[in-house]
Structure 1
Amino acid sequence: MKILLISGYKSFELGIFSNKHDAIKYIKKAIKNKILLFIDELEWVIISGQMGTELWAAEVVFDLQLEYPHLQLGIFTPYEDQEKNWNEANKSYYEEILIGADHVDSISRKPYESPLQLKARNEFLVSKSHGCILFYDTEKEGSPKFLYDLANKKNELFHYPVEMISFDDLQVIAEESYENDDNNYREI
């Protein structure tokens, strides 16, 4: 798998409004675990630059690049000025991610006009990737549902691995982390 798409819930869909939220470290750990499944054959991770799962995935890629310098990050925004209405803190964070990316481009060369641009984004990203990691739980619908449906449709026709991250996965990671922290305190 040369190109891996990563997407999932937006931060506001998870009730996360700060990059200091505790849950983010568990989400990033889950993303890292999934990327490592493909790391030997992986060349690119692609995202669309949405706040939440995608930008956290970018941070994971940056961390992994220290050990796997061949790994590259591509950001393909659905339209120009995606961040136009974001607050200053989010814009600044986004700009930092863009600067670190190996490739940045917009699928539509226009500002937001209609939901068709979001549909085109999903189709482009799935068509250009060889598999995806999706933080999505079918029990809690949200914006990733459209990408989930498209990825599964591609998987039915071709070999297109769809690796899911669920809330149960995050719970397991959080519990393991808590147990490891607890064991570290006992050793002192």
Structure 2
Amino acid sequence: MKTCAFTGHRPQHLPFGMNENDERCVRLKEILKEEIINLIEKEDVTHFITGMALGIDLYAAEIVLDLKARYPNITLESAIPCETQSVKWSAAQRERYYDIAAQCDKKTMKAVKKNIRRRTV
């Protein structure tokens, strides 16, 4: 099984910010889709992993989920870095995040925050 993992710039580091209607964002998503299709058709990639961060991670995840109808053998894994990843996001951003996560074929939690008290001596 060949795998491709997505991670990239967050919206605050992109020239269009959170405006996904901006022509640059629309074009970026088109290019991402073309590259994902190329990976599937020419490189035999069947497993995709997303870090589930705002921006490129979620854009790519949505594209892969959309392409599953055309390529039913592909899978999407969410590699969530910590259980509190989306707590400071807006309600709409969290809803999008949870919708994508619910559709993933596999979910991996990278770290679980623990309540650890540190004491200096």
Which category describes the TM-score, using the shorter chain as reference length?
0.7 to 0.9
Superposition pairs of residues 28-177 of structure 1, within 5 angstroms: 28-40=29-41, 41-110=44-113
Conservation of the 8 A alpha-carbon contact between 2:19 and 2:25: no
Superimposed CA distance per residue, residues 26-67 of structure 1 (whole angstroms, 9 cap, x where no aligned partner): 111111121122204112110110000010001110121111
CA distance in 1, matches of 2:24, 2:2: 29
CA distance in 1, matches of 2:24, 2:97: 19
Conservation of the 8 A alpha-carbon contact between 2:8 and 2:56: yes
Match of 2:119 in 1: none
- Bigger share in helix: 1
Report SS of the residue matched to 1:76: strand
- Cα distance change on mapping 1:33 and 1:63 into 2, 3 Å: same
CA distance in 1, matches of 2:56, 2:88: 19
| Partner AA of 1:33 in structure 2 | E
Misfit runs of 4+, over 3 Å: 18-22
- Cα distance change on mapping 1:54 and 1:87 into 2, 3 Å: same
| Partner AA of 2:27 in structure 1 | Y
Match of 2:2 in 1: 2
Report SS of the residue matched to 1:85: coil
The range that moved more, 45-54 or 32-41, is 32-41
Structure 2, unaligned runs of 5 or more = 117-121
Q: CA deviation at 1:23?
A: 2.8
CA distance in 2, matches of 1:47, 1:109: 18
RMSD across aligned positions (CA): 1.9
Conservation of the 8 A alpha-carbon contact between 2:20 and 2:26: no
Structure 1, unaligned runs of 5 or more = 114-188
Superimposed CA distance per residue, residues 64-83 of structure 1 (whole angstroms, 9 cap, x where no aligned partner): 11110111110111111200
Report SS of the residue matched to 1:44: strand
Identity %: 26
The range that moved more, 24-33 or 78-87, is 24-33
Superimposed CA distance per residue, residues 124-168 of structure 1 (whole angstroms, 9 cap, x where no aligned partner): xxxxxxxxxxxxxxxxxxxxxxxxxxxxxxxxxxxxxxxxxxxxx
- Cα distance change on mapping 1:58 and 1:66 into 2, 3 Å: same
TM-score by length of 1: 0.55
| Partner AA of 2:3 in structure 1 | I
